[in-house]
Amino acid sequence: MTDASLKAVSTPSIPDEPRTTAKTELAREQLIRYSRQLRLPDVTAADQQRLLNTRVALIGLGGLGSPTALYLASSGIGHLTLCDGDNVELSNLHRQLLHSMADLGRNKCDSAQDRLRSINPVLSITKVPEYLAGPVLDTTIASCDLVVDASDNFPTRFAVNASCARHLKPLLSGSVIRMEGQASMFRHDLLHAPCYRCLYSPDEDNLFGSCDGEGILAPVAGIIGTIMATETLKFVLTGQSSLDGQLLQVDARQLNMKLSLLRNDPSCPTCAARRTSP
Amino acid sequence: MKAKDRRLSELRSVIKEITPKEAQDLIKDNGASLIDVRDSDEVAQGSPRGALRLGRSFLELRVEDSVPNLEQPVIVMCAGGARSLFAAEALVGMGYKQVFSLAGGFNRWKNEGLGFEVPRFLDAKGKERYSRHLLMKEVGEQGQLKLLDSKVLLIGAGGLGSPSAYYLAAAGVGTIGLVDHDVVDRSNLQRQIIHTEDRIGMPKVESAKIAIEALNPDVKVKTYQHKLDVSNVEEIFSQYDVIVDGTDNLTARYLINDACVKLGLPNVHAAVYRFDGQITVFWPAYNKDKSGCYRCMFPEPPPPELAPSCAEAGVLGVMPGVFGLLQAVEVLKILLDVGEPLVGRQLTYDALGGEFYTMKLKPNPKCRYCRDGSVFPGYDEVAEVCASNLGGH
């Protein structure tokens, strides 16, 4: 190839920057920051811009929320809505890496914001330092592109699922106990996708209680959290996740990974409400 | 006669009391379990070696986890031989067939010169920090103390080493060694979550040490800001229980493998490329299963003309995160001896397809390094071969 032919295909106004097109101009700082990602054959500067334009609501900044938030922030998801009413306690630090000793007693949203900005200073962060319910829950869900449920109790999970159904927002949901974890993507933005309520009923007493009070092997929460971050990035980049309507179960004892197809429950009240929502 | 004395004499008529010497024989010859039902502050002053320190208050709820077989003889011990009678009756009520009470309790055990130890406990802060581990039967207090006594060396404080080291420190692995000669660069921050914007330019091992110490002051961090080579590898590795390979070049991978084989150490190995990654544990010295080493798969490094390109490959930021955490889980399983570590198995994750596969890795019977009866052939001087597309950084 000659110099002349090179000139013919390049865009003269933006010299020598990898994968930059005239349509999308990432700042030089960002080209460096995301350079290893931009070298992927499937990630262009426009894709990176799409990540930067995305708003993810993260519900719970504990064992699952910590790794998810750290990797979403480092990968350049530009807008994060952080929701947690808890303050940092010493017993959190064995797995919740958003927080450190100096944060003990602070609200987790404040602690998380400082930590995430220390990795990626230009992040836009909205804090909701409370237990999500009522109108605040709905405003939070309505304003984002994707919801990650990393909460530790069933009432919150059902409320978040119902709100995602009202606002047609995709919901990535994960949980961890002892050496096991699971994750699923509930596509409330699609008409016939199964939802969290199709899987679990609030009256079942075989739900394994609140995760609060159960043992957790520290990095098992990290595995599920990083898988949730992976699926979030894939969803933004490709419009779908491998966990759409699927349940991933991880057992760290043997390191078994099992994927099973979820079915929607025709009598699910949450799905019924979703079908009639405006 | 006081009510308690009447009750104790009733219990003595149904529960057999034995002397410390008889108890010792029963433990040795019949596999009896000795259950110490004293409070933790009493146990802290000393307790027979091997005793199950279950305490009195949760005895009935927890005893089956330790003694599942109701036919097994159990000897109950307190300080003076009274409380143990009540506890022994409770065990009879649960269906244990052979229950004995130690006459004179631990005081007599000690006075007769039988062996005991002063067990270690977590202090109040440790109990709070690791409370979620203490709730797990796979960890518990003794398991947590074991982690605090453990030493893990991570080669590479980059994409894989960042999450691995961070979580191992959070989990309370007491000594963490970090080998990396590099400094923090802005392009690292897309995935190396232990480093921060204001530590750009700082050696990675220093940056990681700052993060770990801010999280968990129980952890001692040892930093090695240089490259591993034949002259230093054994001296460094021999101070650790588990080696975590988070490197991105073949020279280091062969050196790590060879030293681990020679020293009998488990090598928790992972590699990430674009949207894929894989993890396995190379540990020919593992006593539960036969398995091979890295050279069983790749006996020699490729010649330079076949070596992969030197350019840094693209990687989705979170991929080394997933694999660094899988490495951390494997390390904890090895240290705690729980579950089945990935010895002789390799897990592959294709993130785009969302698929996980496990395949068996068989040891190569002709492997120069780990075949049965082989004498260590020495370290190869593996030249710098570029292989960043196998790498974790």
Identify all chain A residues contacting B136, using CB atoms and an 8 Å cutoff.
178-179, 215-217
B373 has a pLDDT exceeding 90 = no
- State in Å, rounded, how far the first CA of chain B is from the last one: 77
Q: Does B333 have pLDDT greater than 70?
A: yes
8 A C-beta contact, residue A60 and residue A173: no
Structure confidence by residue, pLDDT tens digits, B156-178: 999 999 999 999 999 999 999 99
- Are B351 and A230 a contacting pair at CB < 8 A? yes
Cα angle for residues A229, B175, B278 (degrees, 5° grid) = 40
Q: Is the pLDDT of residue B389 over 60?
A: no
Q: Give the distance from residue B358's alpha carbon to the nearest chain A alpha carbon, in angstroms.
A: 8
B77: left (phi over 0), alpha (psi -120 to 50) or beta: beta
pLDDT at residue A125 is higher than 60: yes
Structure confidence by residue, pLDDT tens digits, A252-262: 999 999 999 99
Q: Give tens-digit pLDDT for B1-51.
A: 899 999 999 999 999 999 999 999 999 999 999 999 999 889 989 999 999
- Greater pLDDT, B252 or B306: B252
**Domains parsed from chain A with CATH numbers:** 38-276 (3.40.50.720)
CA distance A3 to chain B (A): 23
From the list A94, A112, A99, A98, the residue with the least C-alpha distance to A67 is A98
pLDDT of residue A15: 35
B223-274 pLDDT tens trace: 999 999 999 999 999 999 999 999 988 889 999 999 999 999 999 999 998 8
Does B269 touch chain A if contact means CB atoms closer than 8 Å? no
What's the topology of domain B3-111?
A: Oxidized Rhodanese; domain 1 (3.40.250)
Q: Which residue in B330, B335, B366, B355 sits closest to B345, CA to CA? A: B330
pLDDT at residue B372 in the model: 87
pLDDT at A187 over 90: yes
A257 touching chain B per CB within 8 A: yes
Residue A192 has a pLDDT of 86
pLDDT at B269: 97
pLDDT, tens digit (0-9, with 9 covering 90-100), for A51-96: 999 999 999 999 999 999 999 999 999 999 999 999 999 999 999 9
B389 against B187, higher pLDDT = B187
A131–chain B Cβ distance below 8 A for any pair: no
Which A-chain residues 19-78 have CB contacts (< 8 A) with chain B?
29, 32-43, 67, 70-71, 74-76
Tell the CATH topology of B150-390: Rossmann fold (3.40.50)
Q: What is the pLDDT of residue A198?
A: 94
For residue B120, pLDDT over 90 is answered with: no
Asked if A120 has any chain B CB less than 8 Å from its own CB, the reply is: yes
Nearest-CA distance from B349 to chain A in Å?
A: 10
Which of A217, A228, A246, A257 to mutate against chain B (most B CBs within 10 Å)? Answer: A217
Strands (E), chain A: 55-59, 79-83, 124-128, 146-149, 171-177, 180-186, 246-251, 256-261
Ordered alpha helix ranges (H), chain B? 3-14, 20-30, 40-43, 59-66, 83-94, 105-111, 124-129, 131-134, 140-149, 161-171, 204-215, 233-237, 250-263, 294-297, 319-336
**What Rg, from alpha-carbon coordinates, does chain A have?**
20
Percent of chain B whose predicted confidence (pLDDT) is above 90:
83
Residue B233: strand, helix, or coil: helix
Q: Quick one: pLDDT at residue A213?
A: 66
- Check if the beta carbon of residue B255 is closer than 8 Å to that of residue B230: yes
- Whether A129 contacts chain B with CB within 8 A: no
How high is the pLDDT of residue A3? 37
A230:B125 CB<8 A: no
Among A78-92, A198-212, B275-289, the range scoring the smallest mean pLDDT is A198-212
Contacts of A90 in chain B (CB under 8 A): 125, 128-129
pLDDT at A121: 95
Q: Which residues in A lie closer than 8 A to residue B326 (C-beta atoms)? A: 223, 255
pLDDT at A181: 97
- Active site positions of B, annotated: 310
Is 70 exceeded by the pLDDT of residue A19?
A: no
Report the gap between the CA of B329 and the closest CA in chain A (Å).
Answer: 6
Would you state the pLDDT for residue A205?
54
DSSP symbol at A207: S
Who's near B286: CB < 8 A, 6+ residues apart?
Answer: B266, B341, B343
Nearest chain B residue to A92 by CA: give it. B129
- State the pLDDT at residue B386: 58
Average pLDDT, rounded, for chain B: 93
Mean pLDDT of the region B357-361: 94
Q: Are strands A256-261 and A246-251 parallel, antiparallel or unpaired?
A: antiparallel
**B385 or B10: whose pLDDT is higher?**
B10
| Residue to substitute from A74, A115, A228, interface B, most B β-carbons within 10 A | A74
Beta strands in B215-322 (DSSP E): 220-224, 242-245, 267-273, 276-282
- B127, closest residue in chain A (CA to CA): A91
- Band the pLDDT of B290: cuts 50, 70, 90: confident
Contact assessment for residue A100 and residue B214, using Cβ atoms and an 8 Å cutoff: yes
Nearest CB to A118; choose among B130, B172, B196 = B196
Same fold, B3-111 and B150-390: no
Confidence band for A237, pLDDT divided at 50, 70 and 90: very high
Q: Residue written as tokens 């260590």?
A: B376
Kindly determine whether residue B167 and residue A95, on different chains, have CB atoms separated by under 8 Å.
yes
Tell me if chain B has a CB within 8 Å of the CB of A213. yes
pLDDT of residue B299: 92
| Domain layout of chain B by residue ranges | 3-111, 150-390
* Cβ pair A198, A271 in contact under 8 A: yes
- Res. B85 pLDDT band, cuts 50 70 90: very high
Tell me: pLDDT of A204 over 80.
no
Chain A neighbors of B314, CB-CB under 8 A: 36-41, 43
B289 versus B298: the higher-pLDDT residue is B298
